[in-house]
Amino acid sequence: MSLEQYVANSIIELAPVFATFYLVALGHSLFEKAGLLDLAIDGVFFMGSSIAVRAAVASGSPIVGTVVAAIVTMLLGVALAFLMTYLPISHGAIGLSMMFLGYGIGIIVGYPARLEVGSIAMYAYSEGWAIAIMAISIAIGATVHIILKYTKLGAAIRACGENPHAASSLGVNVLLTRLIAGAVGFAIMGAGSSFFTLAWQKFWDPKSYTLGYGWLAFTVALTSGRHPIVLMPISLVFGGLIFYRVRIGVMYGVEKDVANLVPFIAALAAMLICYATKLKKVLAPPASLGKVYYKEERTV
Amino acid sequence: MSDEYIVLKEISKRFAGGVVALDKVTIDIRMGEVLALLGENGAGKSTLIKILYGVYSADEGSIYINGRRVDVHSPTEAIKYGIVMVSQHPQLIDTLSVVENLALGLRNFNAFTSIRKISSFILEKSREFGVKVDPWEKVWRLTYTQKQLVEILRAMLLKARVILLDEALTYLPLEEKKKFYKFIKEFTAKGGSTVVITHKIPEALDVADRIAVLRRGRLVGIVEGTSARIEDVRRMMFGESAAEITYEKLPASQPGGRVVIETQDLWVTGDFGEDAVRGVDLRVREGEVVGIAGIVGNGQRELTQALMGLRKASRGRILIDGRNVTNRGIHEVREVGVGYIPDSPLALGISIDNSMAENIAALYQRKSALINWSEVYKVASSLIETYRIVIPGADSLIKVLSGGNIMKAVVSKEINYCKKALIAHNPTRALDEVSAAMVRRSIKEKAINNGVAVLLVSEDLDEIYQVSDSIHVMNSGKLYGPFPPDEAERSKVEHLMVI
């Protein structure tokens, strides 16, 4: 195999992995940019990937799978954003509850599809889609970046994340802004999670929820400072580690189970590097991330 | 119909914990007037205009604009009615640029308009209003005055007809304050209205057409600005406590021989890498109050922060009670028994997301592994009582308090904590006259009765003269003095402040 071929193959292999991590981390970042703490990520990830399978099997088209996954997770995102903004309840508690709800819904929705068809390979995206999926992901990321950085809506989203009380006083409709961030962010996450089952694994199993890949996407977002562009290389690195972990393991004579740990160890290392060094300031989370925003609270 | 523009009718508001903030307050705001809202700390002034601005909603009562009853549920709605509030703490987003902040409230641009396009509109307008601020600067890099300027510019951009100033000018240096008042006069001359909340009666008499006084959530009365006398307004504000207000010089202390706070050729770097403190030699003896006068931004903040170990000294030494604490961090300084009233109380003085008791525990019981809560509550209730802090209880979160009462919480716990030294930076700035007088008395008593060495840094020259045993002036990072207060002529001190 020539070098060009090897590189081309690698890209095609990695594209769905990249798209999965990138989009899930991107949607999650957008949600958190608005000050909404997203601990539901792993459950949403599993739920989205399962719904995608069910919808793809039912319709026969992976595109329908992706769209339905995006719509359903979007609704969940809107609900989360609403509850976290409108009521004085802990973002952490409601996020974790939603995570488990996501696992549950994922199994209920995904299992019948698996029983029905066994293998989902024929309902998944073909290899020809790999490059398109990657390109679409990058385009979505670039659009999110432009909106966040250069438009009034983007400034409003960042303002809600930094200081929702001040944002409101400046004339931002905090609830509406967060609903938008919740809807768009979770829709992107849903689309990303659909690529996990329909483009990367091409396989669904209730056991897959133990993978914890949602949390890896969480780490990807954290170590990129929730920046849509910085997310790209970091997603690629983490995607590569996951995808090649077995090969890496074989190369260095490491046992499979230990090799499986590599991405998570890398995640820990990345977080340590980010938060023990000066990078901490550059990658600082929104100042009001996870703080209860309740309008009737008397503030100074 | 008269020239009444807005009427707040029988507004009542009660906060969680049962604090009654407002009790059937009726007040009107007229076209083209400056209305001053006066009252002691926690009288309900802020609450009233926050209801008008849609930050809070009233439990009872109604708002009329141009004779029509309206509901104002959010600042966004208030802005639609031409009402804009500027508060004491700039409500700007630090990590956003000036344009981004200003763009957020502009209705004439949709959500997807690029910030660049909005910036040209803002630039054009700011030239029109004569406000000079770099629109691309991040807000955290601006000075306090610049931030307030941006807030006023924002009000203009939003086509405000009524500007609500919630202690917005309290923290401004005197010169800047005058400029703002001039601007307000021009604004009202063109038909706009301004509501000014302040503690300073002379200021209110100076700028206001009418003065409304609130006391414990009730409207005491409204008087004409031109005919009102300072004593009458004081009595309306404080009732009998008005007698406690004094600017007489407090009795001098008898300093001991021991030097408690000492700096030797101290140099401190400011936020932007400049030498903010330049070779300061300072000595404060036990039982002595040393005052440092000066205009804000001349290195006072950096000096006090370096003394507390919150900022690195680039050169020189700091000795507290004979111990070299230079660059050792705040822990070591606190260990010696130093109280600290910072210039930015919300950032450095208290955690508003915790209760009064928790804040006290964090400071007083920092060395013990277990917190003695009964001790903490004893201290808390004694401070609440002594300093008349309006708070539902020691368990209440600090953020439910009014601005002045938060300041009282900071000041009381620090004055009570200090054993050897107290470093007080603008300790009475957000306080009403009665509370301020009490705080100044407590500081002096601490020096006289307990031999505490006090470094008082203040922009208020009256305060410096009232409390200090010796006076310094700080200008451009250098310290002039000491001067004995009886001999130091005010004109000379004022001159040193501005040269």
Contacts of B391 in chain A (CB under 8 A): none
Scan residues 64-103 of A and list those with Cβ closer than 8 Å to B: none
- The CA distances from residue B337 to A86, B249, B260, B414, B418, in Å, are 44, 27, 11, 10, 5
Name residues of chain A where pLDDT drops below 50.
298-300
Which of B76, B89, B104, B406 is the best substitution to test chain A (most A C-beta atoms within 10 A)?
B104
> Cα(B219)–Cα(B33) distance, rounded to whole angstroms?
19
Are A170 and B101 inside 8 Å of each other by CB?
yes
Residue B263 and residue B237 in one domain: no
Give the whole-angstrom CA distance, residue A95 versus residue A71: 19
Domain count, chain A: 1
Contact A189, A177 (CB under 8 A): no
Given an 8 Å threshold on Cβ–Cβ distance, is A171 in contact with B106? yes
List B423's β-bridge partners, or say none: B340, B455
Which residues of B fall within a CB distance of 8 Å from A287?
94-95
Sheet (strand B68-70) strand order:
B20-30, B4-14, B60-65, B68-70
- Confirm whether B254 is domain-assigned: no
B207 is a domain residue: yes
CA distances from A47 to A44, A81, A142, A249 (A): 5, 18, 26, 30
Q: Does the residue B49 lie in any domain? A: yes
Residue numbers in A near B167 (CB within 8 A): none
Any CB–CB contact under 8 A between A297 and chain B? yes
Length of chain A: 300
Q: Please report whether residue B418 resides in a domain.
A: yes
Beta strands in chain A (DSSP E): none
Which of B74, B103, B399 lies closest to A155 in CB terms? Answer: B103
Q: What radius of gyration, in Å, describes the C-alpha atoms of chain A? A: 19
pTM of the model: 0.81
Helix or strand holding residue B487 (H, E): none
Q: Supply A221's token pair.
A: 């977002």
**B20-30/B193-197 β-pairing:** unpaired
**If you measure CA to CA, which chain B residue comes closest to A177?**
B111
**How many domains in chain B?**
2
- Do B303 and B173 have their domain in common? no
**CB under 8 Å to B20, separation ≥6 — which residues?**
B12, B13, B14, B216, B217
pLDDT, residue B17, reads: 66
Question: HSE of B325 in the Cβ direction (CA atoms, 13 Å)?
Answer: 26
**Of the candidates B74, B111, B402, which has its C-beta nearest A153's C-beta?**
B111
C-beta separation of B37 from B62 below 8 A? no
Which ranges of chain B have pLDDT less than 50? 1
B115 contacts A151? CB cut-off 8 A:
yes
Burial class (CB in 10 A: 0-12, 13-18, 19+), A158: buried
Q: Which residues on chain B are in Cβ contact (under 8 Å) with A171?
A: 75-76, 79, 104-107, 158
Residue at B236 is within a domain: yes
Domain shared by B127 and B223, yes or no: yes
Residue A230's domain comprises 3-282
Q: Which residues 173-192 of chain A have a CB within 8 Å of chain B?
A: 173
Give B-chain residues touching A158 at CB under 8 angstroms. 93, 95-96, 100
Shortest CA gap A286–chain B (Å) = 9
My answer on whether B26 and B135 are in the same domain is yes
CATH number at residue B423: 3.40.50.300
DSSP assignments along B157-188, one per residue: HTT-SEEEEESTTTTS-HHHHHHHHHHHHHHH
CA B467 to chain centre: 20
* Cβ pair B104:A298 closer than 8 A: no
Residue ranges making up the domain that contains B324: 259-498
What Rg do the C-alpha atoms of chain B give, in angstroms?
23
* A118 occurs within a structural domain: yes
B309-338 in b/e form (b: 16+ CB < 10 A) is bbbebeebebbbbeeebbeeebebbbebbb
Per the rule left: phi > 0, alpha: psi between -120 and 50, beta: everything else, A149 is alpha
Give domain status of residue A292, yes or no: no
Sheet containing strand B193-197, edge to edge, reads: B83-87, B162-166, B193-197, B34-39, B210-215, B218-224
Look at A155 and B104 and tell me if their CB atoms are within 8 Å: yes
Residues B117 and B202 in one domain: yes
Residue A153 domain-assigned (yes or no): yes
The secondary structure of A117-161 as a DSSP string is HS--GGGSPPGGGHHHHHHHHHHHHHHHHHHHHHBHHHHHHHHHH
Residue type at position B188: T
Distance (Å, rounded) from C-alpha B108 to C-alpha B417?
A: 53
Quick check: is B253 in a domain?
Answer: no
pLDDT score recorded for residue A299: 42
Question: Would residue B249 count as lying in a domain?
Answer: no
Name the β-bridge partners of B262: B283, B319
Give the pLDDT score at A300.
Answer: 34
ipTM: 0.85
C-alpha to C-alpha distance for A234 and A249, rounded to whole angstroms: 21
Q: Show the tokens assigned to A38.
A: 């997203």
Q: How many CA atoms lie within 13 A of B123 on its CB side?
A: 10
* Residue contact B96–A171, C-beta within 8 A: no
